[in-house]
Structure 1
Amino acid sequence: MNRRSFVTGALIAPLISAAARAQDAPRPDAPPPPPPDLYAEGAPFSREAVDDAARRLATRGFEAPGNILPSGFAELPQDVFRSIRMREDRTLWRGENRGFALDLLPGGFIYRQPVRVSLVEDGKVRPLANDPSWFDFGRAPTPPADKPFPFSGVSVKAPTDRAEELREFALFQGATIFRALARGQILGTSARGLAIDTGEPDGEEFPLFRSLWVERPNPGAGSVVVHALLDSRRVTGSYRFTLRPGEITVIDVEFTLFPREELRHVGVAPMTSMYFFGPNDRVGVDDVRGETHRADGLQIWNGGGEWVWRPLTNPSELQISVFGDRNPRGFGLLQRQRAFPSYNDLNRRYDRMPSVWVEPIGDWDEGQFQLLEIPTDADVNENIVAYWRPKAPLKPGEQFSRAYRLHWCWSPPDRPSGAVTVSTVTGSAGGRRRRFVVDFAGDAVADPNRAGAIRPMTATSVGQIRDVVGRPNPEIKGYRVTFDLDPGNEDLCELRMVLEADGKPISETWLYRWTA
């Protein structure tokens, strides 16, 4: 299997499409559907009502939402679909001086599952009709005015860059995908509400948000709240998102799951991103760009206080990395390289895409971080997936609740006190040997007069590490380590390195998986 023959879309495309209709039929003795007051004009709304709706929905068999897309809209080319816009005069909260505005997103293209959208105003529900009058259809055909037209999600706007301009800073669209950005950024890495059986041989199950309720913000509040009802073949859930835009855009996530069946492989706080190539992985690349990715590494702050940096790669075969832990302190997919010349891409501007950092809230117990790196031969596929996997399975009849804070940022608010990895470069050292050049930066390595006390501590699972050289790098006021890996006859080596001084670590732990 190689990059050009691997069908990346088989795993990635369903991230923004719906889960297939379940085979399970509702039981004859199933209770009635969730109370209709969640969707009734003027009915009282509460977070507990969404909990109750998810709990009651879990007692029934899964039934996929009906397709109400007009004929031809599922086949729209992407550029035609993108020409469909919310009519400016229909933008919600426009001119109300609330600090936010809300746009509805249209169905069509790959967004074929309708999402029910309601507002919550003064604690009461205001459902929004599935109506084509919300949109200017641009280059797409105008659907019949007397037929329903589905929403696929919502886009939230705020004055993130200029006080006089409301700009999209977060959106919910496709399955359980949501994305955000901070001041000065463009959209990049995505988050998801839940991952189920990611990377399993029998395939992944993709939940969807059936309904969204958006609370109208009070003037000057600085935040907006979105509620969601999750549904899937084996689980339902209620979600509450609190969005606060700024120099760091923060999304607080609180959720409760109600399994229909036992779930052994669940991903909490999942993120998806793209890594095509970079200085550590340019196999078969002939490109004017120096590197192309939305994130270049996985950062972990584990429950024991150790900081780990794992550079991403685009492997020739699917790679799954596992890091066991208990009560993690934080993790995320980061974009550390911020220099435009490194990318040389005026169209995609990878240098302006956000890092996404997860801050767990409360006790997350025992589990593991999982990182999936999927082969891709193009920069349009989201081939990187990372999440926290609880050790204990989720059982039917029991609810599972967690909370965490997502930071969409240039640099995470939490960072190691010691030196951090700023660059990993690999190249041939002759034969099967590979040369590695790893740069560290930070106060712990900034003084070249102290470089003589620094010791690079390296290790490999198999093979041998040779010719380790550490020295100051004055160009970045940091420290550079160069070494060769001799894998022998092995095709996979797990590498580890940390800088020490006076017998104590002064850097994060650099981990790397080399594959032939």
Structure 2
Amino acid sequence: MMNRRTFLYGATALSGAMILPISGGAAPDSRPFSYEALVDRAREMSQRSYVPPLRPAPEVVDQIDYARHGELVFRTDRAMFSGQPGTGAEKGYPLEFFPLGKYATKRVRMFVVDNGRASEVLYTPDLFDMPADNPARQLPSNAGFAGFRLQEWYAEADWNRQDWVAFQGASYFRAIGADGQYGLSARGILIDAAVAGLPEEFPDFREFYIEQQPGAAPDTPVTICALLDGLSVTGAYRFRITRGLDRSKGVIMEIEARVFLRKSVSRLGLIPLTSMFWYGEYGKGRMQDWRPEVHDSDGLAMWAGSGERIWRPLNNPDQTSVSAFGDENPHGFGLLQRDRNFDHYLDGVFYDRRPSLWVEPIKPLGRGSVQLLEIPTDDEIHDNIGAFWVPEAPVEKGNSYDLHYRLYWQSDEPFPATNIAQTVATRIGRGGQPGHPRPADVYHFAVEFDRPSVLTKLPYGVFPEVVVSASRGEISRLFAEPVPNGNVWRGNFDLKLAPGELADLRMYLALDGEPLTETWLYQFQS
């Protein structure tokens, strides 16, 4: 997993230089481009030895530390697709580039595609406002960039930048949601995360090919193709990204990818999502900071192939943990931020506005498991959560994977169940009978569910059944109760668990044997 601050700041070459003058005019050199040709190239690269990406002028790049990097501001008058005089492009989503720096040292090549031909954009210092003494002025013309971002639709002469999607660092990318905030990230591939004795591998998007349709409407997708390369894997990706002017829809990405294995790997994570969870309304972290909750996501939601809806609250564990949820052709999964109450965070960085990210497989995924990676953290600057799909079959050299899926960067999952209630809170405290001595090895769980159209139909005086199971320990004191002043029902139970033991818990509310809620899963250590 990657340090969040590094990500925020932080190739197999085509023969011949391709230079696209940002000031406009015909490119002196361009060549045919297609996604299909990129797939062929990735397949051919997988048959050859890995060549690490170029790290231009390391003695210069090392001087561009956090402070000096912050001095490099992309000039709005040089942004392509801004419709501004001299940029040589129609209005669209203005394109800006991230420069190299101490925390983003690898060259990433950028190409703009027009009518099936690709032309390269080269680094020049005049693309940025920078002090005369900034070391970035010493970078060579073939330095490339660290990544790129797209700004909101250019509409007025006084265009003001507000980016909504960014690609930077390894194969990481992210987008804002309906509330205009960045939060969690996605990436192209995950290799050997949390495998004992093996370092995690971070393949890179080495080249990007960016295409916008001249004069198109704001809801026309931006097409971005990317070449992936790493020690164990190569790949070609095509993103069709839709923003539009209706901000309530967030950002939707339709992604096709062909992935080829150079080497066998122990854990292949397809469609990986990456987030941060320090603590919520439960957990030990509540005493480490003054804020009530600190997280970009609060749970993993799954819509199983069987139709079951599952909610797994996130943990900040004492040691790295990987949970696997076996499935066949799931309808979707995602890391969500369900708690949208500012008073539950009290933080000006607006954790209540962070996007949820939902995966919708368009091509069936087959047999495998959604896996949840949870890594201990003592601060909010680290991405310590991962969710991804792992195929059931062994991942061996020569394997290839054909993926087609959508990512929804929105406030909630795009296809919520309408016939069952959602989990809205998980609360944990001391167990035992009130008014009596509380035993040290008994814990009380109170899980709240909300969906007025379902739970308010219960006849007066009728209480749901609390259906609970645990892999370890003893369950007692099961009861359901309505929460005053709302449409929320709470399922309660006690768990007796020996010190240091780990239990996997499963619970839902039912009436006459039929589920009223999604299935709540939790991993608890005493």
Give the TM-score, by structure 1 length.
0.89
CA gap of 1:46–1:461, structure 2 versus 1, over 3 A, is same
* Corresponding position of 1:171: 166
Amino acid at match of 1:204: E
> 2:229 matched to 1:234?
no
Amino acid at match of 1:476: G
- When the two chains are superposed, the root-mean-square deviation of aligned CA atoms in Å is 2.5
Higher deviation after alignment, 350-359 or 60-69: 60-69
CA gap of 1:411–1:34, structure 2 versus 1, over 3 A, is same
Matches within 5 A, 1:54-69: 54-69=42-57
| SS of residue in 2 equivalent to 1:120 | strand
* Corresponding position of 1:207: 203
Q: Any conservation in 2 of the 1:34–1:52 contact (CA below 8 Å)?
A: no
Quick one: distance in 2 between partners of 1:376 and 1:154?
A: 29
> 2:351 matched to 1:356?
no
Quick one: distance in 1 between partners of 2:493 and 2:390?
A: 34
Matches within 5 A, 1:286-325: 286-325=288-327
CA gap of 1:60–1:161, structure 2 versus 1, over 3 A, is same
Quick one: distance in 2 between partners of 1:131 and 1:242?
A: 28
Higher deviation after alignment, 214-223 or 104-113: 214-223
Structure 1 position 53, deviation (Å): 1.6
CA gap of 1:93–1:395, structure 2 versus 1, over 3 A, is same
* Corresponding position of 1:156: 150
* Corresponding position of 1:113: 106
Quick one: distance in 1 between partners of 2:137 and 2:159?
A: 36
Structure 1 position 278, deviation (Å): 1.1
Q: Any conservation in 2 of the 1:311–1:512 contact (CA below 8 Å)?
A: yes
Q: Flag structure 1 segments of 5+ consecutive residues without an equivalent.
A: 1-10, 22-32
| Residues 19-39 of structure 1 deviation map (CA, whole Å, 9 limit, x = unaligned) | xx9xxxxxxxxxxx7764896
Matches within 5 A, 1:253-332: 253-283=255-285, 285-332=287-334
CA gap of 1:106–1:427, structure 2 versus 1, over 3 A, is same
| Residues 445-493 of structure 1 deviation map (CA, whole Å, 9 limit, x = unaligned) | 1346456141111111111122122111233312112222111356111
| SS of residue in 2 equivalent to 1:53 | helix
Matches within 5 A, 1:75-224: 76-95=64-83, 96=89, 98-137=91-130, 141-144=134-137, 147-148=140-141, 149-159=143-153, 167-201=162-196, 202-221=198-217, 222-224=220-222
| Residues 277-297 of structure 1 deviation map (CA, whole Å, 9 limit, x = unaligned) | 111113462422100000000
Amino acid at match of 1:226: I
| SS of residue in 2 equivalent to 1:358 | strand
Q: Any conservation in 2 of the 1:332–1:357 contact (CA below 8 Å)?
A: yes
Quick one: distance in 1 between partners of 2:132 and 2:443?
A: 52
CA gap of 1:291–1:208, structure 2 versus 1, over 3 A, is same
Structure 1 position 324, deviation (Å): 0.5
Quick one: distance in 2 between partners of 1:303 and 1:461?
A: 23
CA gap of 1:80–1:142, structure 2 versus 1, over 3 A, is closer
Quick one: distance in 2 between partners of 1:483 and 1:38?
A: 67
Q: Any conservation in 1 of the 2:227–2:235 contact (CA below 8 Å)?
A: yes
Quick one: distance in 2 between partners of 1:140 and 1:251?
A: 40
Higher deviation after alignment, 479-488 or 302-311: 479-488
Quick one: distance in 1 between partners of 2:139 and 2:13?
A: 28
Quick one: distance in 2 between partners of 1:448 and 1:289?
A: 36
Q: Any conservation in 2 of the 1:160–1:169 contact (CA below 8 Å)?
A: no
Amino acid at match of 2:488: G
> 2:479 matched to 1:481?
no
Amino acid at match of 1:474: P
Matches within 5 A, 1:415-494: 415-417=416-418, 418-429=420-431, 430=438, 431-442=440-451, 443-447=453-457, 449-450=459-460, 452-489=462-499, 491-494=501-504
Quick one: distance in 2 between partners of 1:73 and 1:446?
A: 61
Q: Flag structure 2 segments of 5+ consecutive residues without an equivalent.
A: 20-28, 84-88, 432-437
| Residues 290-315 of structure 1 deviation map (CA, whole Å, 9 limit, x = unaligned) | 00000000000011111100000111
| Residues 60-103 of structure 1 deviation map (CA, whole Å, 9 limit, x = unaligned) | 11111121146353354434423322111111111155331110
Instruction: Report the identity percentage.
Output: 34
Quick one: distance in 2 between partners of 1:290 and 1:140?
A: 44
CA gap of 1:436–1:72, structure 2 versus 1, over 3 A, is farther
| SS of residue in 2 equivalent to 1:211 | strand
CA gap of 1:14–1:259, structure 2 versus 1, over 3 A, is farther
Give the TM-score, by structure 2 length.
0.88
* Corresponding position of 1:369: 370
Q: Any conservation in 2 of the 1:277–1:293 contact (CA below 8 Å)?
A: yes
CA gap of 1:138–1:482, structure 2 versus 1, over 3 A, is farther
| SS of residue in 2 equivalent to 1:93 | strand
Matched residue count: 491
Quick one: distance in 2 between partners of 1:139 and 1:409?
A: 42
Structure 1 position 360, deviation (Å): 0.6
Q: Any conservation in 2 of the 1:462–1:490 contact (CA below 8 Å)?
A: no
| Residues 139-198 of structure 1 deviation map (CA, whole Å, 9 limit, x = unaligned) | 981434672343001101224999975521101000000000123221100001000111
Amino acid at match of 1:81: H
Higher deviation after alignment, 406-415 or 441-450: 441-450
Higher deviation after alignment, 438-447 or 134-143: 134-143
Q: Any conservation in 1 of the 2:286–2:292 contact (CA below 8 Å)?
A: no
Q: Any conservation in 2 of the 1:159–1:165 contact (CA below 8 Å)?
A: no
Q: Any conservation in 2 of the 1:213–1:226 contact (CA below 8 Å)?
A: yes
